[in-house]
Structure 1
């Protein structure tokens, strides 16, 4: 298999996939496999053992065995046959889980910020300038050049085993709010002309391509942003439609339906949908204020909550030129976002200085490139905006954020013979166990992009090996205690076992051999067929509680990522985004303040203590 992959990479080296071929499987990637029912059942059994008392597990597994002896094979066969039929037709859905997964995102009625849309703060970009307009123009020009290159030459194939079809869903993409389910709109690459800009809640469309789809000069784009900053009223927009995108989706859908009854509003909102991305020019300087940065990237804070449009990817630029991205998540995942951001940042950092400066641009041409977008409505409609704003401000107030830096990274951990990702997961589990004397059901995202239209699978990292390690480490009651040689030897063995087990289940998940997508599909079939025997298992409290992620975690590690964050996926859980750099690990924490079960400060401290203890055991010396 490895030889085939190497040969495949050699064959496709330096090749590109043209835009017209992105929706086709030109890389001949396999279809996401459906695991056997026996394999999933076996792995499910193993996954719940560390999470529940033995008597609870025993009673629950009786229901699993009843399901397996009953309709499980029938449901599995139906799933396999439907998948074969879809494959034979050659169209959507391209995997057994795709329609279910799409519907989970599009039918979710909860607000997008915190709950769904993740955010990345990037490091300072070389050659991007220093001011807000110059930095924003550098990013937007880089995106425009990326679109132009893709239209002309296609997307470069860096890895022949990575699906590139989601690249069609990055720019000019937008959610269209619906009462029960949203729609995902895609503007063809060849029709992309403008970006949407928000400043103090005021909307603008800014041309970045000419009619031949050649990008305007970066200096011209910068001049447009400077112009927007100069013409925006001094006071914030008191009734910004943008805030509706941050609230309940059903409310936004009803408000949207009201707005588009007016043809002018329908045209304005169509322009927003067709915008390449949304550029948020914030009014506050972030400087070195970590709390301000963390809130700005995830939900906008109270000061900038109206300066976001969550139906689309957003480039957020602070008043002092710092940059974050907030991503619309229904159409793609971190692997795809990182691909185009990486390309854009590389193009900015490698380019020569621009021959034309913004000061040299003919200012008279700028107003024709900047179109203020106005949405009109009556007094009663403003009530929707006020309600959405209240909901968003409540969400912001209810979201606690924290961060933690560990003074070692990939280099040191690999030298000590442990998987860096597994080590961070160990820190999380030992910390949670320290706080709650148990492990939490844990989700870690694994990409399945090696398959055509692959998205993600769950790594259930709360294993029996993790539990044994957490129990052993937390037996030492004094935080300053240094383990004895015998304890250290025992804990070293537990660390190795936990690391090896984690690597095994992570590899299985990336190969499409996890359990959660498979179980979700079987559950949906059981609901459709009103299969009581199956539902007796799927509706059991133990099953449901083991799928409520007390720790929702994700590793997004690229050289340009400073921080990565998202909200908890359950009311009583934590969101843990992390970046493993060469010599440092950076962790972002989130939780809801309304939860009696979570406390960001306590968890933050526990992760720090656990990381120090584990590193001491590994290295044999204190940090």
Structure 2
């Protein structure tokens, strides 16, 4: 059971008071609502009743199990929630008591620790997500004949300089509390707390459990720039806090490249590769660096407190850098984790052909928060906004020089080999389906998100012949400190639909009836999850209230001991809606060996998706191996078939 920080959050006592206060703040004469002005209006995340969670949980289990398995799981759940000796009511009461001690949300620290910080496998591919960023309209991007592997380009530095300054614009607004707060469609506010952990933030490796370090307002004046595995401290504000022009940043980037290319500059070990390692390995190496020299300690502090990180990439094969799939793979994993620092929540990746991507550590913030920052930067880039003036009183870029021993060198080579093997095991494919988008879905009177999710269910069934546990992220930022909840998409209704649509003996009317049923269940679950009444977070909270040192108590945890519990969390479909995915399209690796990662976005008249799979894994007996090409082509057919059914 956890013992964490205590505190009480302030929020209006009732819904009517909240609505009245919100109207006053939004419409007071001449008033501008500050970034965090609505925080004290937000309620705390609710704790569902045991009955609510048990009923919803069992509904999600049934399509994944045999009748005998479901009977056993039902018995395990009923025993767990029973008021006559069941463990559930005891854990529920502990969770209520724990909730009282939390300043924001009962879930916040549990989620941070259990989902992220205690995870010991590499964040590389397992936790980090990536995104591709659209090129500015009308930009004279370098032609392949103008790009050479291993050599930077002027356009690369120009685009990096402009985007760096646009990110700094957002940081300045954030520090001043002038970033416009976000609202739900009903006008109620979203929690803005995650924005405090975007700039000057880092994940820090520690044995058994990592840490997050961040500060707000962030007074740091530097970023880190990585070029050919050499890490530089680059000041982007002068000593008085004044900003640097685009040309000033360009000159800083040009200077650091000159240092690297200078034959007299001693090349430093590629320490950044350790951020792609097992977290305990990285924690041990980091402490070893600190023990060797105070200079190493200062280097780590410089990187970890940097506003964000920028990687200037030149080592990608030129032809590959113009291929959308290979470029996306490079943003996801580079070649073998090189030229990166994977512990930062914002790492801007700029190729020498001018294409740009991101690779972001997921722990402190969710992708939609980072996405807003990037989209605002891109909007300025599209408009041609430039920073023509700024301070020139800056120190030159400082190469971070490491003092290392043979043990660290040996570990570095071992991590390189492991990371290369890991990187080669992931597949990625981009798909773009013209003529199928949000407008098409709305004309068919189908929610665009539900259309995509039913198409994913149908695609999986057509390939594997069964339903599987499916994760879709739903936001819970309507609550203080809220992040996400899982929408368990697979249902009895979705299984009935995917069985019916390809069955020639079923009439179109019955097929349509089953589709409507599946769409309705998905919409209901999405609404419940966004309101804090999903299954997974509540069950996680209850599990964390277990006394792990008490074997009798552990034996009574019948729900968690039941095989159905693990099966229901083995998400072979991990999905996320990043609509419209026009300027900013994100992706991620699958969360289980036999799974698919599906990041999708519906624009008005097209659908974009990034599919990922693992190449080498032990295929379960009787199952079919994941097939990224077949999944991609089948997804397009599934979308078309559903729309044809709905509009026939």
> Which TM-score applies when normalising by structure 2?
0.87
Match of 2:366 among 333, 350, 359: 333
CA drift of 1:619 comes to 3.0
Aligned residue for 2:565, secondary structure, equals helix
Tell me what 2:487 maps to.
Answer: 459
Aligned residue for 1:156, secondary structure, equals coil
Tell me what 1:481 maps to.
Answer: none
CA drift of 1:352 comes to 4.2
Asked whether 1:419 is paired with 2:447, we answer: yes
CA drift of 1:424 comes to 0.8
Aligned residue runs from structure 1 range 164-243, under 5 A: 164-233=192-261, 239-243=269-273
Tell me what 2:476 maps to.
Answer: 448
The answer to whether the 8 Å contact 1:265/1:375 transfers is yes
Aligned residue runs from structure 1 range 63-462, under 5 A: 63-69=76-82, 70-86=86-102, 91=103, 94-104=104-114, 105-126=116-137, 130=141, 131-159=155-183, 160-233=188-261, 239-261=269-291, 262-283=293-314, 284=316, 285=318, 287-302=321-336, 305-312=337-344, 313-350=346-383, 352-355=385-388, 368-407=395-434, 408-462=436-490
CA drift of 1:85 comes to 3.6
Superimposed CA distance per residue, residues 512-551 of structure 1 (whole angstroms, 9 cap, x where no aligned partner): 0101000111112124455235423202211111111010
Tell me what 1:480 maps to.
Answer: none
Tell me what 1:479 maps to.
Answer: none
CA drift of 1:571 comes to 1.7
Distance 1:611 1:2 in 2: 42
Superimposed CA distance per residue, residues 274-310 of structure 1 (whole angstroms, 9 cap, x where no aligned partner): 11111011103565312321212211134xx211111
Distance 1:340 1:353 in 2: 17
Distance 2:212 2:308 in 1: 15
Tell me what 1:487 maps to.
Answer: 507
Tell me what 2:539 maps to.
Answer: 519
The answer to whether the 8 Å contact 1:50/1:463 transfers is yes
Match of 2:26 among 12, 15, 23: 12
Distance 1:547 1:6 in 2: 41
Distance 2:51 2:262 in 1: 64
CA drift of 1:380 comes to 2.4
**Count of paired positions:** 594
Distance 1:240 1:234 in 2: 18
- The structure-2 alpha-carbon separation of the partners of 1:391 and 1:488, relative to structure 1 and needing over 3 Å to count, comes to same
The answer to whether the 8 Å contact 2:120/2:278 transfers is yes
The answer to whether the 8 Å contact 1:126/1:348 transfers is no
Which stretch of structure 1 is more off in the superposition, 562-571 or 311-320? 562-571
Superimposed CA distance per residue, residues 288-343 of structure 1 (whole angstroms, 9 cap, x where no aligned partner): 312321212211134xx211111102111111111111111111112321222233
Distance 2:131 2:24 in 1: 33
Aligned residue for 1:446, secondary structure, equals strand
Which stretch of structure 1 is more off in the superposition, 328-337 or 489-498? 489-498
The answer to whether the 8 Å contact 2:223/2:234 transfers is yes
Distance 2:603 2:210 in 1: 37
Distance 2:428 2:119 in 1: 23
- The structure-2 alpha-carbon separation of the partners of 1:188 and 1:354, relative to structure 1 and needing over 3 Å to count, comes to closer
Give the superposed CA RMSD. Answer: 2.5
Tell me what 1:557 maps to.
Answer: 579
The answer to whether the 8 Å contact 1:147/1:189 transfers is no
Distance 1:246 1:123 in 2: 26
Distance 1:416 1:132 in 2: 44
CA drift of 1:237 comes to 6.0
- The structure-2 alpha-carbon separation of the partners of 1:205 and 1:55, relative to structure 1 and needing over 3 Å to count, comes to same
Q: Structure 2, unaligned stretches of length 5 or more?
A: 1-14, 142-154, 620-624
Tell me what 2:145 maps to.
Answer: none
- The structure-2 alpha-carbon separation of the partners of 1:9 and 1:141, relative to structure 1 and needing over 3 Å to count, comes to farther
Aligned residue for 2:64, secondary structure, equals coil
> Which TM-score applies when normalising by structure 1?
0.90
Distance 1:174 1:354 in 2: 28
The answer to whether the 8 Å contact 1:335/1:447 transfers is no
The answer to whether the 8 Å contact 2:130/2:587 transfers is yes
